[in-house]
Amino acid sequence: MNAVTTHPLTLHKPAPRALPSGPWTRQAVLALMAQPFMQLVQQAHAVHRAQFPQGDIELASLLSVKTGGCPEDCSYCPQSVHYDTGVDASKLMAPDAVLAAARAAQAAGATRFCMGAAWRSPTDRDIAKVAELVAGVRALGLQTCATLGMLAPAQARTLAEAGLDYYNHNLDSAPDFYPQIVGTRVYDERLATLQNVRDAGVKVCCGGIIGMGETREQRAGLIAELASLQPAPESVPVNNLVRVPGTPLADSPPVDPFEMVRMVAVARITMPRARVRLSAGRRELGDGIQALCFMSGANSIFYGDKLLVTGNPDVDADRALLQRLDLPVTGAST
């Protein structure tokens, strides 16, 4: 295939975006989030038990198949070419190496394998190579997920035909805070990729990050945006900012860990059927806060040695924590 030379999202522009409507407006989510902490946790837990009576935790593994060299300027990301973080750019991994990593993740108990590549928008040639990886991982019996940047409609269809189950493309933040953390793309471009993925028949994995300097109201705005997607994402990663030296957010003050619990709880209540995933920054939360997150509706974790290029709790520690909490690991799909 020939490389794409035009901006891929010129092929499918989103309709003008209205403010979130329906039951979960920003103010409705903010009111939910402002409830007394224990009341909110109890409400979220009731919703969670109704939707996921088995209480199982899905284990997902994430491999960076193409690291660094990204032209985007996302303020939180160590893979951006705009920041000196010590992350060197690499080429796309060979299929044998990716499949070896997928087999290792599967042997460790993961049931979903996500492949991440530091691109703004992949070329058609890139997509053809990733489609080969998707087909290979799917053949192992794993659920497949990819996060590759912005996709054109035909690119999303190519990945769907290869067997891609999920595509991850986070909104990151509420739209009014977004320009403070990203300057190389606009919010509607993210929404366009999500629509392209939906139109191709691929499930959506979409969430955001807390701790970047946003207000609680803006956190509520992020949840309102996610819950207003039609349909809502099947997977919702909730990330706690990992402050990487060299990035503009390296010196950001840590967020109150109970705010992470509140985010998980409101994600569960507003998107009851989604897998709510504890993602980046889980190491910093500690076992007690993670337990509260599970109580509040988190039922998926990224599992393994690395979450792209930042540390992740190791496999043995994760297994031990889940056993201490008597949480079954079944990896049931959504």
Catalytic residues: 70, 74, 77, 114, 145, 205, 277
The closest of 234, 226, 233, 286 to 260, measured between CA atoms, is 286
Q: Collapse the DSSP code of 301 into the 3-class scheme (helix H, G, I; strand E, B; otherwise coil) and give the result.
A: strand
Bridge pairing between strands 166-168 and 143-147: parallel
The closest of 182, 160, 183 to 173, measured between CA atoms, is 182
Q: Contact, 295 vs 43, CB < 8 A?
A: no
Query: Amino acid identity, residue 245?
Result: P
3-state helix, strand, coil in the chain (%, to 5): 40, 15, 45
* CA torsion, ordered 135, 139, 144, 146, to nearest 10 deg: -30
Q: Contact, 25 vs 224, CB < 8 A?
A: yes
Three-class HEC string of 51-112: HCCCCCCEEEEEEEEECCCECCCCCCCCCECCCCCCCCCCCCCCHHHHHHHHHHHHHCCCCE
Bridge pairing between strands 310-311 and 306-307: antiparallel
Report the distance separating Cα 20 and Cα 259, nearest Å. 22
Q: Contact, 122 vs 159, CB < 8 A?
A: no
- What are the contacts of 35-41 at 24+ separation with CB within 8 A? 37/258, 37/261, 37/262, 40/262, 40/265, 40/266, 40/296, 41/261, 41/265, 41/292, 41/295, 41/296
Write the DSSP symbol of residue 262: H
